[in-house]
Structure 1
Amino acid sequence: MAITAVRIDGRLLHGQVANMWTNVVGATRIMVIDDEVASSDVAKAGIKLAKPTGVNLSILSEQKAVNNINEGRYDSQKVFILVRHPRVLVNMIQKGVPITSVNVGNMSQTDETKAITNSINVVQADVDAFNELHKLGVSVTAQMVPSDPVLNFIDLLKKF
């Protein structure tokens, strides 16, 4: 399988991802990996509305995604993985999924988060997971839209 891109975005699949990122990364399949969304028919219906024409979509739990990837179900496709939290990616890598780079997009602000950039807000568990990704050799960048400059996310975290 060719994982063409991996993005952390709290909104998962939405207009910006569907219209800009999917074309830039050349994806033939978008894979939304989120246990909560995968178990909610309402949430899945909302995500399906944002799917670009001509691109396949999978909305899977973390374990189902790991199983499908490791079984080679998408080997002939260019897969764009979307998750909300970095811990999901750490777990997937530890279960054998070959992820080498991650783009961090939007992580929404809550009462518990601290801002890293205008659009990226994290809690300590996120920071710990990002540091684990870095230790696993994963390149972590921040880029909201393709026309923005690519920033080294680990450098941004050092200011946290």
Structure 2
Amino acid sequence: MNIVGARVDERLVHGQVANLWTPKLQVERIIVLDEVAAKDEIQKSGLRMATPMTTRLSVLPTRVAADHLNNNRYGNQRIFIVAKKPQKFLDLLNLGVSLEMINVGNMSKKEDTTELTKQVNISSEDAEIFKQIATKGVNLIAQVNPSVDARDLMKLIDEKMK
């Protein structure tokens, strides 16, 4: 597997992913983990329009993505995985996919969330999922785009969710 990036971002493929992260990481394929979008041609079409023309896009249910990744379906392509919620990455890890790092880029403010950074707001359930991911040896960072410093997500959770 040649996974060069993994990102939690509620907006999936959009300006930051398409115009900043994709060129920075020299991404050849973006994999969107989303069961609903995988079955919805309109959502897939919108994601395709947001994806750079030089980059391939796969919109897949998590189990299918894990199967493709574990069986090296994409060869040496540089892969960037994006999902709306951290649970998708925990599922991917539990299905045998290896990830070194997950970048948490955008989780919007809701009634039950705590602000970790201006862009990252998480619920207590999200915090538990991130803790489970961290116990699997995955480095978790909060970084909105490549031009700002990455922050240790687990430290932010420890500081702000007492």
TM-score after normalising by structure 2: 0.95
Give secondary structure in 2 for the equivalent of 1:5: strand
RMSD: 1.0
Q: Tell me, in whole angstroms, the C-alpha distance in 2 between the residues paired with 1:38 and 1:17.
A: 19
1:116/1:36 Cα in 2 relative to 1: closer, same or farther (>3 Å)? same
Q: Tell me, in whole angstroms, the C-alpha distance in 1 between the residues paired with 2:135 and 2:9.
A: 21
Q: Tell me, in whole angstroms, the C-alpha distance in 2 between the residues paired with 1:83 and 1:99.
A: 14
Partner of 1:147: 147
Partner of 1:86: 86
Which stretch shows the higher mean deviation, 15-24 or 103-112? 103-112
Unaligned runs of 5+ in 2: none
Q: Tell me, in whole angstroms, the C-alpha distance in 2 between the residues paired with 1:100 and 1:132.
A: 14
Q: Map of 1:10-159 to 2, 5 A cutoff? A: 10-159=10-159
Residues 68-110 of structure 1 deviation map (CA, whole Å, 9 limit, x = unaligned): 1111101221100001111111111111101111111000122
Residues 133-156 of structure 1 deviation map (CA, whole Å, 9 limit, x = unaligned): 111110001110101011111100
Aligned residues: percent identity?
34
Q: Tell me, in whole angstroms, the C-alpha distance in 2 between the residues paired with 1:75 and 1:49.
A: 24
Q: Tell me, in whole angstroms, the C-alpha distance in 1 between the residues paired with 2:107 and 2:27.
A: 22
Runs of 4+ in structure 1 deviating by more than 6 angstroms, as ranges, are: none
Give secondary structure in 1 for the equivalent of 2:106: coil
Residues 31-58 of structure 1 deviation map (CA, whole Å, 9 limit, x = unaligned): 1111121122221111111010111110
Q: CA deviation at 1:129?
A: 0.7
Read off the aligned partner of 1:59 and give its amino acid letter.
Answer: V
Aligned residues: 160
Unaligned runs of 5+ in 1: none
Give secondary structure in 2 for the equivalent of 1:105: strand
Q: Tell me, in whole angstroms, the C-alpha distance in 2 between the residues paired with 1:141 and 1:86.
A: 12
TM-score after normalising by structure 1: 0.96
Q: Tell me, in whole angstroms, the C-alpha distance in 1 between the residues paired with 2:38 and 2:115.
A: 28
